Structure 1
Amino acid sequence: MTREIHGTVADGFEAVREEFSAFVAEEQADYEGQLCAYVHGRRVVDLWVGGEADALYGVYSSTKGAAHLVVALLVQDGTLELDRKVTYYWPEFAAEGKGQLTLRELIAHRAGVVGTDTGFSRQELADDRQIAERLADQRPFWRPGTAFGYHGMVIGALTGEVVRRATGRTLQEVYEERVRAPYGLDFFLGLPAAHEPRFRTTLPMAPTAEQRALLDAVPGGPHTLASIAFNRHTAEPTDLEALPNDPLVRAKGPASVGGVASARGLAGLYAAAISEREGKAPLLKEDTAAEFGQMHSVGYDLVSRAHRAYGLGFQATADVYHPFLGAGTFGHAGAGGSQAFADPRSGLAYGYTRRRFAFPGGPAPENDRLAAAVHRAALSG
């Protein structure tokens, strides 16, 4: 079945459209997704299949990129200092031996409070203030600062509480005022009711029989660190696939997983971070982008039990996912399949999202070929 590819590519990026078309032809019949890219602030790829050009999707952990762009801006301003203790801003965080942790270590997933012993309710997971209050009293699952593990459901609440204490504003409010609204980005941390009709319900993963067998073979248990980190150890385990479909999550926009965006919004965020756009200087100075993209936690991740690399709040995208990208590339992928990043060396800003939750979770496998095609075209332009 041939499905129509909508949108445009700039001269020199025709191969990206061909690669996208080839991938779509291989996908399930109900595939719906978007691909967008900027180079040095100019949009060069804007493609989609299914839905509308301005459709919005749940982007899961790609939300963390928007959240930590706010933190980077506040560090750049001098409002936050990376090597101050978290307790300088948030005294209650000192409970249970967490008092020596610095903001730098917190953002690099080294705090050891990936969840709580008893888990979070649905209402708590939608509210960063409630998450932060619970975590302030939580005993760490490892000695803070000595190791790292992905704080997948809570890192935005932790850093968001520091932002709130330092500025008197929520992270979501600062993001709206300084990032989203000035650039008109279709990337929301808290979806306004007026934009609800644009949201496309996330469809659950549809694995093949072979893929289902692989999923069933993954070892796990109700009390593992991974279960705690993804709130699977409670009486009502979190259904990660369905998370964006909860209106409360969309409305509150928790800064770890609650973002709603298009590929245009994802790519536009990173283009604004590193490039001049619409007469505006890049949001991040070169030194700030370099520091936040610099790898801080590299090696064995205690939660994912795999090799991972994190900068400050961002994933080190070139190390973990796409080794063809430039050193210092920073971004964040999402469990449903989304991917977004900035490669300051090539000037590339990339965004991809899809409607159906991708196997096996994390950035969808097609990002490897799509990002490579965009990068090749960017370098040859």
Structure 2
Amino acid sequence: MSVQGTCDSRFSQVAEEFEGNLARRGEVGASVCVIVDGEAVVDLWGGEAAPDVPWQSGTIGHVWSCTKGATALCAHILASRGELDLDAPVTRYWPEYGAGGKGGTLVRHLLAHQAGLPVLREKLPPGAFYDWKLMADRLAGAEPFWEPGSRHGYHALTFGYLVGEVVRRVSGRSLGTFFREEVAEPLGLEFWLGLPEEYEHRVAPTIPADPPATPPSFYVQAFTDPASMPALLLANEGGYMTPGESDSRAAHAAEFGAIGAITNARGLAGMYRPLSLGGGGLVTGEHLVHMSLTASAGTDAVLAVPSRFSLGFVKAADNRHLPPADQEGALLSASAFGHVGMGGSVGFCDPAARLAFGYSMNKQGIGLGINARGQALVDATYRALGYRQVYGGIWYAPGEIS
């Protein structure tokens, strides 16, 4: 399959791995973008967006949980401006949220997946995820599954409403509007939380992953315990996870701040570009430090595997010892933060390396996070920058280790 775009000779390994993904690793259509010191050094695309339809420079697609990075960024912009206190109770901004024993929930608990509301017990009606008020009201009135702040568990589908409603209450704008006006438009990004219909023809439909040989741990729990959080995650989602529904016009149009964003590698890397340069006018340098620090780590109460998060972002985690379907992390450097998307997409920044990275594709791999295709591109990028790995773990800068 043909590969198009540009690649600085220093990063030729990235191009080689991208071509290898298409030739040997089951890639169908994809894009990768690497920005260093504010300049794009890799901007490649290739394969097919749909049968007999080539992936083009302007092809866009569903990046799933990479969306959470965009939603978290909106909250951090407000916090950096002094309009949102991450250590304040959520009820300061969203009074109704105190119901059900949640009065002690802090804003930072929402961002760090510590809120205790990864799912809802009460049955959701069809199309619930397209009704922001319904979801916000249901979450405000719900009882948490654990004491907020006492543990963490991936809020796969509720994160966007929890953090996004705080953004809405503070800013007076919907999450999608805030992101468009404060991030996408100023940075010139083709990146949407709520895709306008005029761009629908450019979306590459998602190709589901092939069934894994070993199911994810949370699937095992879901099938054996119908009242468990994994079971509710799979069964109480208003029909959104029905095959094909996430590619519907209604799904693309919704401001779904957990897994609904539409963009490509250029959009993902472009969103993280200002952060790779110390904040770039989106947040202050001082606040950027808070965005990168690990806020929750250990065995995930929902996924039943180890996970690590800063305030709204995924941190580097080496979980390659787990079955492929349970791998939800990515091997980055210690200073990097961003977010992976179900099936393999990823966007992140590494301020110490002045690096911003994006990868998107249409054919999903198994697991909730980055897989061999995306990791090969990340690894090649770090090697080109002179970074090294110790025992195959996270990446270290030149001179950082002996």
TM-score w.r.t. length of structure 2? 0.86
Rounded to whole Å, the distance in 2 between the matches of 1:363 and 1:127 is 30
In 2, distance between residues paired with 1:159 and 1:343? 23
Correspondence for 1:68: 72
Partner AA of 1:289 in structure 2: L
Q: Is the 8 A contact 2:330 2:369 kept in 1?
A: no
Equivalent of 2:14 in 8, 13, 16: 16
- Say whether 1:338 aligns with 2:345: yes
Q: Output the aligned Cα RMSD.
A: 2.2
Q: Which amino acid aligns with 2:361?
A: R
> Aligned ranges for residues 112-151 of structure 1 at < 5 Å?
112-151=116-155
The alpha-carbon deviation at position 240 of structure 1 amounts to 6.5
Identity of matched residues, % = 34
For 2:32, which of 32, 35, 46 is the aligned residue? Answer: 35
1:379 Cα deviation after fit: 3.6
Report how far residue 326 of structure 1 moved: 2.7
* Correspondence for 1:111: 115
CA offsets per residue over residues 130-149 of structure 1, 9 Å max, x none?
A: 21111111111111111111
- Over residues 258-311 of structure 1, what are the superposed CA-to-partner deviations in whole Å (9 max), with x where a residue is unaligned? 1001111011110133328xxx94423222121011111111110000111111
Q: 1:330 to 1:22 in 2, by over 3 A?
A: same
**Counterpart Cα distance in 2 of 1:243 and 1:112:** 27
CA distance in 1, matches of 2:243, 2:289: 33
Deviation at 1:189, TM superposition (A): 0.6
Note the residue ranges of structure 2 that are not aligned, 5 or more in a row: 48-54, 320-328, 388-397
- How far off is 1:15 after superposition? 1.4
Query: What amino acid does structure 1 have at the position aligned with 2:301?
Result: L
| Secondary structure of the corresponding residue to residue 49 of structure 1 | strand
- Other-structure match for 1:253: 255
How many Å separate the matches in 2 of 1:126 and 1:274?
Answer: 33
* Distance in structure 2 (CA, Å) of the matches to 1:366 and 1:62: 16
C-alpha distance in 2 between matches for 1:9 and 1:152: 34
Q: 1:360: how far off?
A: 3.0
1:1-381 alignment runs, 5 A limit: 3-28=1-26, 31-50=28-47, 51-207=55-211, 211=212, 213-215=213-215, 219=220, 220-221=222-223, 222-228=226-232, 230-233=233-236, 238-239=240-241, 242-275=244-277, 281-317=280-316, 321-323=329-331, 325-379=332-386
Cα deviations across residues 4-41 of structure 1 (Å, max 9, x unaligned)? 1111101311111112112221133x711111110111
Amino acid at match of 1:286: G
The residue type equivalent to 2:334 in the other structure is A
**2:307–2:317 Cα contact (<8 Å) kept:** no
Q: Provide the C-alpha distance between the structure 2 equivalents of 1:299 and 1:216, rounded to a whole number of angstroms.
A: 17
- 1:238 CA drift (Å): 4.3
Task: In structure 1, give the amino acid aligned to 2:357.
Answer: Y
Cα gap change, 1:275/1:337 in structure 2, threshold over 3 Å: closer, same or farther? same
The structural deviation recorded for 1:54 is 1.0
Contact 1:96 1:137 in 2 (8 A): yes
- In the alignment of these two chains, the number of paired residues is 368
In the TM superposition, residue 167 of structure 1 has moved relative to its aligned partner by: 1.7
Q: Is the CA contact (8 Å cut-off) linking 2:270 and 2:356 kept in structure 1?
A: yes
Q: How far apart, in 1, do the equivalents of 2:354 and 2:344 lie?
A: 23
Q: For the structure 1 residues 344 and 357, does the alpha-carbon distance in structure 2 shift closer, same or farther, using more than 3 Å as the test?
A: same
Distance 2:243 2:73 in 1: 25
Q: Distance in 2 between matches of 1:90 and 1:198?
A: 37
Indicate conservation of the 8 Å contact 1:37/1:350, yes or no.
yes
Shift of 1:249: 1.7
Q: What stretches of structure 1 move > 4 A for 4+ residues in a row?
A: none
Residue type of the partner of 1:300?
A: T
How far apart, CA to CA, are the structure 1 residues paired with 2:382 and 2:350? 9
| Greater mean alpha carbon deviation, residues 360-369 or residues 256-265 | 360-369
Question: Aligned partners of 1:265, 1:152: CA distance in 2, in Å?
Answer: 22
Residues 8/119 of structure 1: CA separation in 2 closer, same or farther (3 Å cut):
farther
3-state secondary structure, aligned to 1:340 = strand
Distance 1:119 1:339 in 2: 31
C-alpha separation between the residues in 2 aligned to 1:378 and 1:356?
Answer: 28
Q: Which of 83-92 and 313-322 deviates more?
A: 313-322
SS state at 1:79 partner: coil
Question: Counterpart of 1:273 in structure 2: which amino acid?
Answer: L
Secondary structure of the residue aligned to 1:215 is coil
Superposition deviation, residue 237 in structure 1? 5.4
